[in-house]
Amino acid sequence: MKVRFSVNGAVREVETAPDMPLLWILRDHLGLTGTKYGCGVAACGACTVHLDGAAVRSCQVTADALEGAEVVTIEGLGTPEAPHPVQAAWIAAQVAQCGYCQSGQIMQAAALLAENPAPSDAEIDAALAGNLCRCGTYPRIRAAVRRAAQAMREG
Amino acid sequence: MGTLRRLTRRSVLIGSLAVGGGVAFGSWAVSRPAENPLEEFAGADGAAFNPWVLVTPDEIRLITPHADFGQGAAQMQAMLIAEEMDLEPGQFSIDFGQPAKAYWNTALAEEGVPFMSTDESLPAEAMRALMGAAAKLMGLQITGGSTAVPDSFDKLRRAGAVARETLKRAAAARHGVHPDDLRTGAGAVILPDGARVPYTALAADAAKITPVTDVPLRPPAQWRLIGKPQPRLDMVAKCTGTQRYGIDVSLPGMIHAAVRMNPRKGGALKGFDPAPALAMPGVSDVIELPGGIAALATDTWTAMRAAEAVICEWGAAPYPPEQAGHWEVLAGSFTEDRLDRVWRDEGEVEAALADGAVISAEYRSPYVAHAPLEPLNATVLVTEEAVEVWTGHQIPRMLQRHVAAITGHGPEQVILHNQFIGGSFGHRLEFEFVRQAAMIAARKPGTPIKLTYSREEDFAQDFPRHIAMGRGRGVVREGRVEALDLAIAAPSVTASQMGRAGLAVPGPDAQIVAGAWNNPYDIPNFRVRGYRAPELAPVSSWRSVGAAGAGFFFDCFLDELIHAAGADPMAERIRLMRPGPARKVLEAVAQLSNWGESLSPGVGRGVAFVESFGVPVAEVVEVKDTPDGIRISRVWVAADVGRVVDPGNIENLIQGGVVFGLGHAMNAEITYSDGMAEQRNYHDHEAMRLNQCPEIFVRVLEGQGRVRGIGEPPVPPAAPALANAIFAATGKRIRELPLGRHVTFV
């Protein structure tokens, strides 16, 4: 099937099987490899993107649900030259070790802060509990979310 | 046979090196410099000062041959060179380099000797030197055993200093001044009048000078970078989705592949029907591999689904099909026949045990998966002239040999583009995934083949941490621990791992007892024996290797004895510990945690100490027994690494190591049923989630004489400290991992 949807602000048209997950459309069709494959069953959160503003696991969204959708990936959130405040906080807190989960962590945190600019520690924990980090950078992830929240509030 | 067996047992097992008595190397072969692999890249105007520094008119390139799977090895290596070379971030690029003998790892071999890390006796030092020489001759380039820092610390600073001084000579000759009148800074030689000559502008001149060799290293007081937190060079890329890993490699004309191997690991493929896969749109081929199949397709997802669709008939597993059978083998391995080595025997253990009321206990440590978040993957292109491999790997030269043996090329024709790795924990020491990619690519010459494992396949085909069983006996008297006798039975992880690499390993395996025998306690009657069980399911090094299980047995059993004696867990450990860095680490964690302060009802604290890879680490874990289950609230850690290269990165690695150790102790294990791992994805092998993560406070000491690595040592004390804390809070003594078999964690 042909599906038209927007990725990081640009309209894309992809010829794909209707049941192909968005994750693989992004990675293998569109070359947007910042979104990572970790489990394929929504158990790790590495493939988290924004779909119409909400954080979703892109391994669980199939092509036939994408017509007209607006997708934002880690590449669209910010760039090395102009990082999103959440990315800037992650860099300032020197969060990453292997870094493989961090795209998903950052997308999840950005969605949280867009909805809740001043989350409590418990709300941060609840929002990010589905994003696995095998290196164990959780203490710095928490610190970075708090740092980003403060920076965004102070604008 | 008997004689040979005894001789073999007396020889010493050193990772992949097995060196018996009477082996000697010519001093010429050992002292000869290894060939510089950068010379062929220097061109006419470039200076390859040594295997780590290349300066051309266009660029400064630093080679960081230790693989980077998140620990920051690339950064660390670059900073050591940049320190002496006076480079600033942004002035150089980094590159993992080509596999080369010149990148042999001295430190790993030195660590493998059967002496305690604190032993500086002549036999211990002589053995370390011998091992170092053997590693050099073999050109053993390997990242592992927490050795990247100890291997690099002097070597790479010297590499930077040699480059700097040679560049100064070049500048001195060109400008007619004496080298002593020159300084360097920010990538340039500074002339007496203050004018700056960039290193790149001196490359052609420097290339004509024989590099100076006798360069003293700068004293710590002059360091600009070492000992200060540095922003990691890979941080911006990793936070913006622009870091490329092996799984992100894309080449023109590339075909995607997925494998499905017999889930009864090592079992045969008895037959298969590819028809359901070949009927799927986008699937181009199904290939038979030894013990499995590969499906080829237009994209990763289709290849994975196709591999799953192939109908396969699998043979039996070459190990007990049910988990209970594995435990039975261990339980039956505490026999004279299977005694691998008596590693520690102090005082009169048998007499002490005969003389008092014996406390005894049995402990278990399960199989655990590596499961780094980036699944295994490798991209291979076979042509007549060469084989190119894009993957992340920790033993590059051995990888070359494996690939060459499959494709029929010479090892030197295998070009490895080593990639940043999305976590390893020991996973990327293995070769099967690369061998499979090479086998597929060999069938499709001229076409790049990208093999990506599904997460399910990554779990099913993992060679997990080995299982182990510990039996402790002990005696306490007048409030003190008098005797501790620990016997540990386990299969040899080293033999399993090296066997797959085609290397035989005679001699006892230190990993059966690592983290138990080597703790620098002075218990009056103290014995640790290793028993070698036959090989069971294939196993591999898992972050901290033997110390993860043996450290748990040792420290929890010591904790049992201390409680039986009615002593304070911290005070008695300190009393029993030899004076030195290990005791200071315990004292530091006691102070950091304010050990002894009164705790709220339901709150308990446990302390554990395990030394591994030469690093003494003590951890205090605090838990709260809530109505919903056990909550880990805070952790305090003290470790002594001799010298901190980057205080920011080391804090991150220690906290991560604690999370890794606690998380798997909570809920992670691999069990076998019908010969297959029962755990298929993260939902049934989860480890710690962010909402369960405690606050973790870290103190790093620099008291010991040697420079050490921190990747693995924070892991082993976490499990026993947690179990000891649960005992303190609830009175429940749990003697097997994962602890979640007996308590719920919230």
Please write the tens of the pLDDT for every residue from B25-69. Answer: 344 444 556 789 998 888 889 999 999 999 999 999 999 999 999
Q: What's the gap in Å between the CA of A52 and the closest CA on chain B?
A: 20
H helix and E strand count, chain B: 21, 29
CATH code at position A35 = 3.10.20.30
Nearest to B639 by CA among B679, B610, B599, B680: B610
Rounded CA gap, B519 and B554, in Å? Answer: 9
Domain boundary among A77, A101, A130: A77
Host domain of residue A91: 85-154
B interface mutation test: which of A24, A50, A97 has the most B CBs within 10 A?
Answer: A97
pLDDT for position B2: 29
Rounded CA gap, B269 and B39, in Å? Answer: 47
**Rounded to 5°, angle at Cα B307 from B301 and B312:** 160
Q: What's the gap in Å between the CA of B190 and the closest CA on chain A?
A: 32
Coil, strand, or helix at residue A152? helix
Domain boundary among A44, A77, A110: A77
- B373: contact with A, CB 8 A cutoff: yes
Q: Please, are residues B37 and B51 in contact by the beta-carbon 8 Å criterion?
A: yes
Of the partner residues A24, A44, A90, the one whose CB lies closest to the CB of residue B300: A24
Q: Please, are residues B291 and B268 in contact by the beta-carbon 8 Å criterion?
A: yes
Indicate the residue type of A41. V
Q: Among A78-92, B13-27, B265-279, name the one with the lowest average pLDDT.
A: B13-27
pLDDT for position B28: 42
Structurally, chain A folds into a number of domains equal to 2
The reply to whether CATH 3.30.365.10 applies to domain B33-105+141-239 is yes
Rounded CA gap, B324 and B118, in Å? Answer: 39
Q: What's the gap in Å between the CA of A62 and the closest CA on chain B?
A: 12
Rounded CA gap, B674 and B32, in Å? Answer: 54
CATH code at position A146 = 1.10.150.120
Write out residues 263-302 of B within 8 Å (CB-CB) of A.
281-282, 299-302
Rounded CA gap, B409 and B403, in Å? Answer: 8
Going by the DSSP 8-state scheme, the letter that residue B218 receives in this structure is P
Residues of chain B with CATH 3.30.365.10: 33-105+141-239, 246-317+376-452, 323-368+463-741
Q: Please, are residues B167 and B55 in contact by the beta-carbon 8 Å criterion?
A: yes
The reply to whether CATH 3.30.365.10 applies to domain B323-368+463-741 is yes
Mean pLDDT of chain B: 93
Of the partner residues B299, B656, B660, the one whose CB lies closest to the CB of residue A24: B299
Task: Check: pTM over 0.90? Answer yes or no.
Answer: yes
- A64: contact with B, CB 8 A cutoff: no
Rounded CA gap, B517 and B345, in Å? Answer: 9
What's the mean pLDDT in B173-195? 97
The answer to whether residue B8 scores a pLDDT higher than 50 is no
A-B contacts at Cβ under 8 angstroms: 190
Give pLDDT tens digits for B91-142: 999 999 999 999 999 888 776 677 888 787 877 777 777 777 777 777 789 9
Give pLDDT tens digits for B570-589: 999 999 999 999 999 999 99
Q: Which single residue is written with the structure tokens 């006796």?
A: B121
Q: What CATH fold (topology level) applies to the domain B246-317+376-452? A: Aldehyde Oxidoreductase; domain 4 (3.30.365)
Q: What's the gap in Å between the CA of B365 and the closest CA on chain A?
A: 20
Domain boundary among A77, A103, A119: A77
The residue length of chain A stands at: 155
Residue B391: CB partners within 8 Å, gap ≥ 6?
A: B246, B377, B378, B379, B399, B416, B417, B418, B419, B433, B434, B437
**Percentage of chain A exceeding pLDDT 90:** 99
- B155: contact with A, CB 8 A cutoff: no
The answer to whether the Cβ–Cβ distance between A36 and B235 falls below 8 Å is no
Regarding whether A127 and A96 lie in a shared domain, the answer is yes
Regarding whether A110 and A65 lie in a shared domain, the answer is no
Continuous H helices in B615-717:
647-667
The answer to whether the Cβ–Cβ distance between A83 and B232 falls below 8 Å is no
Rounded CA gap, A54 and B650, in Å? Answer: 35
Cα dihedral A39, A145, B233, A27 sign: positive
pLDDT for position B21: 30
The answer to whether the Cβ–Cβ distance between A134 and B243 falls below 8 Å is no
Q: Please, are residues B745 and B628 in contact by the beta-carbon 8 Å criterion?
A: no
Residue B340: CB partners within 8 Å, gap ≥ 6?
A: B9, B492, B508, B509, B512, B529, B530, B531, B532
Q: Which residues of chain B have a CB within 8 Å of the CB of A125? A: 690-691
Regarding whether A30 and A47 lie in a shared domain, the answer is yes
Banded model confidence at residue B568, pLDDT cuts 50, 70, 90: very high
Q: Which residues of chain A have a CB within 8 Å of the CB of B247? A: 33, 36-37
The answer to whether the Cβ–Cβ distance between A94 and B235 falls below 8 Å is yes
pLDDT for position B25: 38
The answer to whether the Cβ–Cβ distance between A33 and B241 falls below 8 Å is yes
